[in-house]
């Protein structure tokens, strides 16, 4: 038995169906009608649905008055322990989309009442020797889940109170004094365990107050705890939605008169499901960049390209593939994209070819080395208060160390070898053997095309480029070749600190705008790109 509901859209009604034990996820930006969708689903399914509002109070009071289980459950599900006046009237005060959900008290009452009833049944079972298997209370189930999610905190539940403590310590404190995150975990686990059998549980913004490090584990636990229920997640958090299994949809827009614009997250896009979700959930054009999802890279690209959603794709080839795939994929035509790759000593023809495909090229071979470019280095030194002769001496010392590092044979050798390997890799990937009709033809054609690359000449080209840049004290020219991340320690000396501390400062300064001259200097050196 599953759950069916429909959503009005500008092109007609869109039907959804979710099986018990599975999930359906919607992601949307502010203004995309997420909460109103949650209300719509709840109203469609009536008593079979239980909605946890995004606008919810998290005040945990263990000393709440104890009432019967039936009254507490009615309060939890309807909003009043008295006669049912209708969920809209009592639980939501006729403001389903905006009313503050304040049902923590009912949740605690329901769990205490269930504990009392289960304990009494267990007592009778033992007293009369009925040999009926003992059932765990919902509090006991909650504590088991809690220990797996938050092993550094212990929970203790008595007959009428709840205490927390730091794991391993005897001293405890009232659960009312737990952190926002801990009270949120308690609330979500309790709501899930207490939901009526065979329900559709709707979580609006399930990520609120939950640290990302435990997010996946929490929802895995809750899904496993209630295989009889289905779950709807409605979120603005792209990473959360991308990390979960289930049917996935993007809420583009909401019009009170026409309804929602809803798009499926396509399965066959040439991207992983995570990337597809990030792309479709974005209202900005996508900029694919080289590298991993490091904080320094993100800070630089987000500051310099604020109107873009930044998605790292590893190597140059992966960036190229992502841009070509996305532009060719009709399922993603609403979103435009471009790419950005490291310099890797591309010649003018290579740069022109990449630009024609919508891919810009950095002025350096590692994004970290932007800070060694003279204009950026000067901006950093000036931010540190250097001026006049002292400023020039500071920059000269940095450049001298840079060129001395590059002049060392072992450092040059590593750069030359990496460049030669990249050129070989690119050449092999471009070899087209589709015309060969026999094995001999294939072997001969491959040998001929592979041998056309003179590896020694490629290595010499890199060596000559580095040597010339050092001789001319041409820092931009050198950094087009030198792809050594360790050079960040040289830039760090502008602040007389370590590479690690320098990186942290850069991330903070660029992100919060406290070093505008540095951000401007970097932005002026990066290529201008336009979505297509």
pLDDT value for 130: 79
Sketch out the chain's domains with CATH numbers. Answer: 3-264 (3.40.50.300), 284-525 (no CATH)
Q: Could you read off the pLDDT of 31-78 as tens digits, one per residue?
A: 899 999 999 999 999 999 999 999 999 999 999 999 999 999 999 999
Radius of gyration of the chain (CA): 30
Say which DSSP state 171 is in.
-
pLDDT value for 23: 94
136-145: average pLDDT: 96
Measured distance CA(524)–CA(503) in Å, rounded: 20
Q: What 3-state DSSP class applies to 160?
A: coil
Q: What 3-state DSSP class applies to 147?
A: helix
Percentage with pLDDT > 90 across the chain: 56
The average confidence (pLDDT) of the chain is 89
Q: What is the dihedral of CA 270, 272, 273, 276, to 10 degrees?
A: -60
Instruction: Give the containing element (helix H, strand E) for 43.
Output: helix 34-45
Measured distance CA(33)–CA(259) in Å, rounded: 9
Q: What 3-state DSSP class applies to 394?
A: helix
Distances (CA, A) of 491 to 141, 370, 395, 488: 54, 9, 10, 5
Q: Could you read off the pLDDT of 419-447 as tens digits, one per residue?
A: 898 888 878 877 888 888 899 888 888 88
| C-alpha closest to that of 233 among 505, 464, 28 | 28
176-194: average pLDDT: 95
Q: Could you read off the pLDDT of 460-495 as tens digits, one per residue?
A: 999 999 999 999 999 999 999 988 888 889 999 999
Contact 205, 235 (CB under 8 A): yes
Q: Could you read off the pLDDT of 227-256 as tens digits, one per residue?
A: 999 999 999 888 788 888 889 998 988 999
Q: Is the pLDDT of residue 10 over 90?
A: no
pLDDT tier, 211 (very low <50, low <70, confident <90, very high otherwise) = confident
pLDDT tier, 532 (very low <50, low <70, confident <90, very high otherwise) = low
Measured distance CA(182)–CA(185) in Å, rounded: 5
pLDDT tier, 268 (very low <50, low <70, confident <90, very high otherwise) = low
Q: Could you read off the pLDDT of 502-531 as tens digits, one per residue?
A: 988 888 888 777 889 999 999 999 998 876
pLDDT value for 83: 67
Residues 215-224: contacts with CB under 8 Å, at least 24 apart: 215/240, 215/243, 216/243, 216/244, 217/148, 217/149, 218/149, 218/185, 218/188, 218/189, 219/244, 221/145, 221/148, 221/149, 221/189, 222/145, 222/188, 222/189, 222/192, 223/21, 223/23
Phi/psi zone of residue 400: left (φ > 0), alpha (ψ -120 to 50 degrees), beta?
Answer: alpha
Structure-model confidence comparison of residues 28 and 239, the more confident one: 28
Q: Could you read off the pLDDT of 296-337 as tens digits, one per residue?
A: 887 888 888 888 888 888 888 889 888 888 887 766 656 788
pTM of structure: 0.67
Q: What is the dihedral of CA 89, 17, 202, 269, to 10 degrees?
A: -140
Instruction: Give the containing element (helix H, strand E) for 326.
Output: helix 316-328
pLDDT tier, 29 (very low <50, low <70, confident <90, very high otherwise) = confident
Contact 282, 238 (CB under 8 A): yes
Contact 362, 340 (CB under 8 A): yes
133-137: average pLDDT: 88
User: How far, rounded to the nearest angstrom, does the alpha carbon of residue 460 sit from its chain's CA centroid?
Assistant: 43
Measured distance CA(129)–CA(33) in Å, rounded: 56
pLDDT value for 117: 95
pLDDT tier, 453 (very low <50, low <70, confident <90, very high otherwise) = confident
First to last CA, the chain: 46
């Amino acid at each position: 038995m599953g759950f069916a509901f429909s959503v009005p859209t500008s092109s007609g009604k869109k039907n959804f169906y979710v099986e018990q034990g599975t999930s359906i996820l919607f992601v949307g930006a502010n203004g995309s009608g997420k909460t109103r969708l949650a209300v719509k689903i709840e109203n469609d399914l009536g008593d079979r649905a239980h909605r946890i509002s995004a606008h919810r109070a998290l005040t945990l009071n263990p000393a709440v008055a104890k009432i019967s289980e039936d009254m507490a459950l009615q309060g939890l599900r309807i909003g009043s322990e008295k006669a049912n006046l209708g969920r809209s009237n009592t639980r939501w005060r006729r403001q389903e989309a905006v009313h503050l959900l304040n049902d923590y008290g009912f949740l605690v009452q329901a769990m205490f009442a269930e504990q009392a009833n289960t304990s009494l049944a267990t007592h009778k079972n033992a007293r009369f020797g009925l040999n009926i298997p003992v059932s765990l209370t919902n509090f006991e189930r909650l504590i088991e889940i809690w220990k797996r999610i938050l092993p550094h905190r212990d929970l203790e539940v008595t007959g009428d109170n709840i205490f927390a403590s730091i794991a391993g310590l005897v001293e405890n404190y009232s659960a009312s004094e737990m952190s926002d995150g801990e009270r949120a975990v308690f609330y979500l686990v309790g709501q899930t365990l207490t939901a009526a059998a065979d329900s559709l549980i709707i979580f609006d913004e399930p990520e609120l107050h939950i640290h990302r490090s435990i997010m996946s584990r929490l929802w895995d636990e809750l899904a496993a705890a209630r295989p009889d229920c289905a779950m709807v997640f409605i979120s603005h958090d792209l990473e959360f939605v991308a990390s979960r299994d289930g049917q996935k949809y993007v809420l583009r827009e909401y019009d009170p008169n026409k309804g929602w614009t809803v798009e499926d997250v396509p399965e066959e896009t040439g991207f992983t499901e995570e990337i597809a979700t990030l792309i479709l959930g974005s209202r900005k054009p996508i900029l694919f960049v080289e590298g991993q999802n490091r904080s320094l890279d993100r800070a630089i690209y987000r500051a310099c390209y604020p109107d873009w959603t930044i998605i790292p794709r590893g190597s140059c080839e992966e960036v190229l593939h992502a841009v070509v795939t996305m532009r060719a994929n009709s399922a993603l035509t609403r979103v435009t994209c471009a790419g950005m790759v490291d310099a890797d000593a591309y010649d003018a023809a290579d740069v022109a070819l990449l630009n024609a495909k919508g891919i810009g090229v950095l002025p350096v071979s590692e994004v970290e080395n932007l800070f060694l470019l003279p204009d950026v280095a000067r901006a950093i030194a000036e931010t540190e208060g250097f001026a006049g002769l002292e400023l020039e001496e500071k920059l000269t010392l940095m450049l001298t160390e840079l060129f001395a590092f590059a002049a060392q044979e072992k450092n040059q050798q590593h750069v030359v070898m990496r460049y030669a390997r990249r050129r070989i890799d690119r050449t092999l990937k471009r070899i087209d053997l589709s015309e060969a009709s026999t094995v001999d033809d294939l072997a001969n054609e491959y040998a001929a095309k592979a041998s056309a690359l003179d590896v020694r000449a490629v290595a010499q080209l890199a060596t000559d480029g580095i040597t010339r840049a050092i001789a001319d004290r041409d820092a931009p020219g050198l950094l087009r070749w030198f792809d050594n991340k360790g050079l960040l320690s040289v830039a760090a000396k502008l602040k007389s600190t370590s590479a690690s501390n320098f990186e942290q400062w850069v991330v903070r300064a660029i992100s919060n705008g406290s070093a505008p001259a540095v951000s401007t200097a970097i932005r002026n050196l990066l290529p201008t790109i336009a979505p297509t």
